[in-house]
Amino acid sequence: MSYFNFNNKRVYYTEFGTGTPLLLLHGNTASSNMFAEIAERYGKDFKVILIDFLGHGKSDRLNEFPADLWFNEAEQVIAFLREKQYTKVNIIGSSGGALVAMNVALEVPELINKVIADSFEGEKPIKVFTENVEADRENSKHNENARMFYSYMHGSDWEKVVDNDTRAVIRHQKEIGRFFHKDLQSFKPAILLTGSLQDEFVCTLAPNYFEKAYGELISKIGHGKIHLFDTGGHPAMLTNQNSFYQLSMKFLNSKFTL
């Protein structure tokens, strides 16, 4: 197993395939294991890079996650890219990983080629989600499918990982309240925003949630495209895997941006 160091902690990563680097970034309470199936498909055309953010998967554990979680994870990615001297990297981030991907592109646009940001909230946290996250996470611990997912992502100490993430989400809402440190107008790489119209995390809030949230992002960025799948849940990347893969390959391989 391979690791790089960040703040005196070991961050797990793995690489396979050849070609332009393609970094897949996992979401909250998950690890790079969430990409186990789809990553193999990308490995036919790209040098695929998978990272477990600190406190997740095979990476070193933390006593607590920072409140500015998604920016801190972006700093981990930037440290990795600089250590490996990678440039013109493509990134696909899903759920919380989409926030990380956008933060990376905002901070070091010179290192990034294209970004696909999938199934995320927008520029700010959803207040009702944050208010209910503690109860929802506690309920998930008693759901057999959720427990199997957490265990597959992290191993036997999955409950501590979930609790750390829950506390970080709540602290972020109270202490920070915005996902990005830089203005979206400074976003340079080509970007595609994706989601599912049946995403269980947002469809109950408003049927047009993604259209509005993503539309506001694209308006501020000044370029980019949106693609919403009619079916599938959260995240769209995995619940619409075949369609997402085809869409992403067209976007990543084309000189034009869909």
All residues at 6 or more sequence positions from 109 whose CB lies less than 8 Å from its CB, including other chains:
186, 187, 188, 189
Within a domain: residue 202? Answer: yes
Within a domain: residue 52? Answer: yes
Give the percent of the chain with pLDDT over 70: 98
Q: Which domain holds residue 49?
A: 2-124+179-253
Within a domain: residue 132? Answer: no
Number of domains in the chain: 1
Within a domain: residue 159? Answer: no
Within a domain: residue 166? Answer: no
Q: What is the pTM of this model?
A: 0.96
Within a domain: residue 40? Answer: yes
Binned at pLDDT 50, 70 and 90, residue 257 comes out as very low
- Assign residue 65 the CATH number of its domain: 3.40.50.1820
pLDDT, mean of residues 227-234: 96
Binned at pLDDT 50, 70 and 90, residue 216 comes out as very high
Within a domain: residue 155? Answer: no
Within a domain: residue 186? Answer: yes
